[in-house]
Amino acid sequence: MKKADAVILGVDPGSLIMGYAVIAVYGNKVELVTMDVVKLSSHKDMYVRLEMIHTRITELIKQYAPDTFAIEAPFFGKNVQSMLKLGRAQGVAIAAAMQHTLSVTEYAPKKVKQSVTGNGNADKEQVWKMLQRVLSIEEKPQFFDATDALAVAMCHHYQTSSPLFNTGAQKAKGWEDFIAQNPGRIKLK
């Protein structure tokens, strides 16, 4: 099997249903590798659900060896408790990715929709229809959480493969990397 130029793990975080998708990029062609959800019972303690999220993200990383991890940022709703739970779920997923030294990129929901459909206010059905068309997918998944995760992965692909985004400069992993990549920006007193 031909090695992919990039493998991207996209996640739509949730404290009850977490969507995930893995795509492989071969030049200009993108293929769906897998897409599904993790169902987290509301009858289980929140900390047990968080552990389940961490475990599943770790399993996905070990199984598919993604190069990068993209996640949807939580949108700000009126229910503070829901936002806290969603933030925790997102944090645990990010921590699992970072534990495996993946670069992490977060995208706002409007940015994801804009990247996939051209409309930042598109509904879930419009996003799914565009993904079906672009990736030639026949079957409709049971949960839009999975398609949302696929949209996040595609958004990341579009953002990182764009000539405007990809200027050849490498993303610094810390101040030491930044200084090494930008020696002319250091001012000595």
Q: Check if 67 is active-site.
A: no
Q: Check if 5 is active-site.
A: no
**What's the rounded Cα separation, in Å, for the pair 102 and 143?**
26
Residue 145 in marked binding region: yes
Residue 45 in marked binding region: no
Catalytic choice (145, 148, 176, 177): 145
Residue 123 in marked binding region: no
Catalytic choice (5, 36, 51, 72): 72
**What's the rounded Cα separation, in Å, for the pair 156 and 131?**
14
Q: Check if 12 is active-site.
A: yes
CB 38 within 8 A of CB 17: yes
CB 79 within 8 A of CB 57: no
Q: Residue 104 pairs with which residues in a beta bridge?
A: 69
Binding-site entries: 12, 72, 145
Binding-site entries for Mg(2+): 12, 72, 145
List the catalytic residues: 12, 72, 145
